[in-house]
Amino acid sequence: MTGLNNNHHQPTHQHPIAQHGDTISFKTTTTSDTEPNRPNPSEDRRHKKRGKPAKDGPHIRSEAGAGAGDLLVQCSAVGRVFPNLGQRQAFFSSSTSALPSAAPTRNNKISSMARMPTYFFSHGGPDVQYNKAHPVFPVLQKIGREITSLKPKAVVVFSGHWQSTPINVNNVLLTDLIYDFYGFPRYFYEATYPSIGSPELASKVLFLLSDAGIEAEGVKRGLDHGVWSGFNVAFDPESNPLDCPVVQVSLFNNEDPVAHYELGRAVSSLRDEGVVIIGAGMSVHNLRDMRFSMGSSRPMPYSVSFDNALRDAALADPREREAKMAALTERPDAKQAHPWMDHLMPVHVAAGAAEEEKGYQVWTHHEGSFAWAQYRFGEVSEELEA
């Protein structure tokens, strides 16, 4: 099985700006603290609501730095997000009848359901959905078509833009959008993505995490741009809709690769029930150095070296993969490739959820202080292969 697996170094204009377990309870929680030197939450909120650029240019809000209000700045016009809401509710109410239940068993499999693969998306910034000239655009489209061809019952996604203690599981039915960035053009804040959640699947995720000894709780939250920007490309609502529920789960609020591998392993049985698991981050993600590489086609040395090392670890024998991937964070170039590890942890989740399935690098691209590797863990038929 092979993918596109091409390296590209040509100049582009994409700016992937994305910086930065088990008590089953269903309380709404938000992060109230802000990091020092972050913009004032109320000021940031003003730009999000009105779509006005901040004076100091585009920025991304990390989950760790978001105030309570920031997490609730979501699309208020539900009809605009779901133009065919009645139709979609009817579809989802029928499709969720086949979703995994929260019954106390780890082997509650749907009969004759093929095991789903897992994926890692390098998702880029909130502009990825508008930049059709960027080489990642057709790649995400092709991977999206592969996934919809599998006809998943649901998607569980882990984004580098949501970290929490304990693990949070989004248990809402109507999933609004979070515009966790500021300083972009107005239309960025008018972006929509039609998606519905599944409280039933969220309950199942909470049960599986509890069964694995991971503290978690259900919360009410929208989808952050680490999910919806890339999903708008992979699962274009008009040409390739993802007509199944999406449940987002947070990462741990730490940089422990083993803990995140175990997080993926805890929910791996969902794959036997028609659920595709996706991690969304970047294979190399250094916003700090972006200013030095803007307008240049030459990648930073660590963009190539770390991305290659990640490939070797992710494609290793599954019996050795966890240890080899964990060792990545100890490499001399690790803190250059990921000054914060939030965008690396989702690939550990995806690999952990794959258990003994083989990994494949579908494609990669080195661009300044970023790398865009896309991975699949598990087999698909050659006719569907991205």
Boundaries of every domain in the chain: 41-93+115-377
For 289-318, what is the mean pLDDT? 93
pLDDT tens digits, one per residue of 32-78: 333 333 333 333 332 233 333 444 445 555 444 333 223 222 333 33
- The answer on pLDDT for 178 being more than 90 is yes
Which of 96-105, 148-157, 261-270, 278-287 has the lowest average pLDDT?
96-105
Q: What is the CATH number of domain 41-93+115-377?
A: 3.40.830.10
Cα(319)–Cα(269) distance, rounded to whole angstroms? 18
More confident residue, 348 or 110: 348
Whether the CB-CB separation of 1 and 379 falls below 8 Å is answered with yes
pLDDT at 264 over 60: yes
Q: Is the link from the previous residue into 166 a cis peptide, with omega within 30 of 0?
A: yes
Please report, rounded to a whole number, the percentage of residues in the chain having pLDDT higher than 70.
Answer: 70
Instruction: Tell me the β-bridge partners of 168.
Output: 217
* 70-87 mean pLDDT: 35
The whole-number average pLDDT for the span 65-94 is 36
d(CA 176, CA 78): 7
Query: The pTM is what?
Result: 0.77
With a cut of 70, say whether residue 26 has pLDDT above it.
Answer: no
Position 297 scores a pLDDT of 73
| Residue 110 pLDDT exceeds 80 | no
Q: Render 228-279 in DSSP notation, one character per residue.
A: HHHHHHHT-TTTS---S-EEEEEEESS--HHHHHHHHHHTGGGGGGTEEEEE
Around Cβ 168, how many Cβ atoms within 10 Å? Answer: 25
Which tens digit of pLDDT belongs to each residue from 275-287? 999 999 999 999 9
**pLDDT given at position 77:** 30
Per-residue pLDDT tens digits for 112-138: 468 999 999 999 999 999 999 999 999
In the numeric block, which tokens belong to residue 16? 């992937």
Q: In what order do the strands lie in the sheet with 370-371?
A: 284-285, 370-371, 366-367
Q: Above 60 in pLDDT, residue 170?
A: yes
Say if strands 359-363 and 216-219 run parallel, antiparallel, or are unpaired: unpaired
Q: Please count the other Cβ atoms lying within 10 Å of the Cβ belonging to residue 256.
A: 16
**Residue-level pLDDT at 102:** 61
For 104, phi then psi, to 5°, come to -75, 70
Whether the per-residue pLDDT at 4 is higher than 70: the answer is: no
Q: What percent of the chain has pLDDT over 90?
A: 66
C-alpha angle 264-325-214 in degrees, rounded to nearest 5: 30
